[in-house]
Amino acid sequence: MIETLQALAEPNRFQIVELLRDGPRPVGDMVHRLGLRQPQVSKHLRVLSDAGLVDMRVDAQRRIYALRPAPLKELEVWIERYRRVWEAKFQRLDGVLAELKAKEKKRGRTKR
Amino acid sequence: MKNSGTLKVTTPSDREITMTRIFDAPRHLVFEAWTKPELVKRWLYGPDDWRLAVCEMDLRVGGALRFVWRHSAEQSMGMSGVFREIAPPDRLIFTEIWDEDWTGGEALNTLIFTEHAGKTTMTQTVLYSSRAARDGALKTGMEHGAAVSYDRLAELLKS
């Protein structure tokens, strides 16, 4: 998980992942779109590949990269669990607020 | 509770976690529920059997806050902090640091309350000392989250 976040934290790598969301792309195409030099793009792709975020296949001497959804899905699940813990707290807060509102109404005043 | 918004969690930068949620109450009440210990104790706890055993707030700029959650006689988790800004009903800023310091230094908590048609949008941003600290906080949330049984969740949804 930390590996996924570290790989994504670099802005150019994040851009590469964004580009690959639309579908697989050859390296040359990404070099063109990112305005980076080929060695830089290759270096970023290696980091993404090590983190399991992309897969590569060779097609007529072109290296085609594609996104692997598994680590991104894992990241989503991770944030969702964090969200759930807090949502449970905030649902109790809803209850407390409903009570405060009712009390205020009973007192017949609106304090602002 | 119906009418309550769903919590949104985002990571706007590599050191922050932001939570946004709508509450069906005017913001002076939301502010009150965040700053009166007897009210805070009623909701800021969990998951499972973790209870907020100690909740002390010296509600003034530079004043201390102290929270201790207890699970059993042996297990507890403490957090201390200092109020940086108190601007009812729209803003509350305080620092937080855990006793075990699993976030590598103190974090800054900024709560902003905006009101529209009697409902309050709360935006809570926690700024950590580093990306590793932020990730650690998310990870802890995950571990605790995984521990929440669906039964208990269903029970909470009914209330």
Q: How many CB atoms lie within 10 A of CB B103?
A: 22
In CATH terms, the superfamily for domain B8-158 is START domain (3.30.530.20)
Kindly state whether residues A40 and A94 are assigned to the same domain. Answer: no
Kindly state whether residues A51 and A18 are assigned to the same domain. Answer: yes
| CB atoms B135 and A1 under 8 Å | yes
| CB atoms B4 and A91 under 8 Å | yes
Kindly state whether residues A25 and A52 are assigned to the same domain. Answer: yes
Task: Work out the pLDDT band at A50, boundaries 50, 70, 90.
Answer: very high
Kindly state whether residues A35 and A55 are assigned to the same domain. Answer: yes
| CB atoms B141 and A86 under 8 Å | yes
ipTM of the complex: 0.78
Kindly state whether residues A27 and A56 are assigned to the same domain. Answer: yes
Q: Over its length of 159 residues, how does chain B's per-residue pLDDT go in tens digits?
A: 333 467 888 878 888 888 999 999 999 999 999 999 999 999 998 877 789 999 999 999 999 999 999 987 778 889 999 999 999 999 999 999 988 877 778 999 999 999 999 999 999 999 998 888 887 777 765 554 433 333 333 333 333
Residue A82 domain boundaries:
77-112
pLDDT at position A111: 52
Kindly state whether residues A82 and A104 are assigned to the same domain. Answer: yes
CATH number for the domain harbouring residue A13 = 1.10.10.10
Cis-peptide, bond into residue B89, ω within 30° of zero: yes
Query: What whole-number distance in Å separates Cα of residue A75 and Cα of residue B67?
Result: 30
Kindly state whether residues A47 and A87 are assigned to the same domain. Answer: no
- Residue ranges of chain A whose CB lies within 8 Å of a chain B CB: 1-2, 5, 9, 78-98, 100-101, 104, 111-112
**Residue B63 Cα, gap to closest chain A Cα (Å):** 24
| CB atoms A98 and B25 under 8 Å | yes
Number of domains in chain A: 2
The 3 state secondary structure assigned to chain B is CCCCCCCEEECCCCCEEEEEEEECCCHHHHHHHHHCHHHHCCCCCCCCCCEEEEEEECCCCCCEEEEEEECCCCCEEEEEEEEEEEECCCEEEEEEEECCCCCCCCEEEEEEEEEECCEEEEEEEEECCCHHHHHHHHHHHHHHHHHCCHHHHHHHHHC
A93: nearest CB among B43, B139, B157: B43
Residue B52, chain A, CB below 8 Å: the answer is no
pLDDT at position B148: 37
* Closest of B86, B137, B133 to residue B112, by C-alpha: B86
Query: What whole-number distance in Å separates Cα of residue B103 and Cα of residue B135?
Result: 9
| CB atoms A86 and B135 under 8 Å | no
pLDDT at position B74: 79
Q: Is residue A72 part of a domain?
A: no
Its pTM stands at 0.71
What DSSP designation does A37 have?
A: -
* Closest of B30, B106, B48, B145 to residue A90, by C-alpha: B30
User: Which chain B residue lies closest to A5 (C-alpha atoms)?
Assistant: B135
Contacts of A97 in chain B (CB under 8 A): 23-25, 29-30, 33
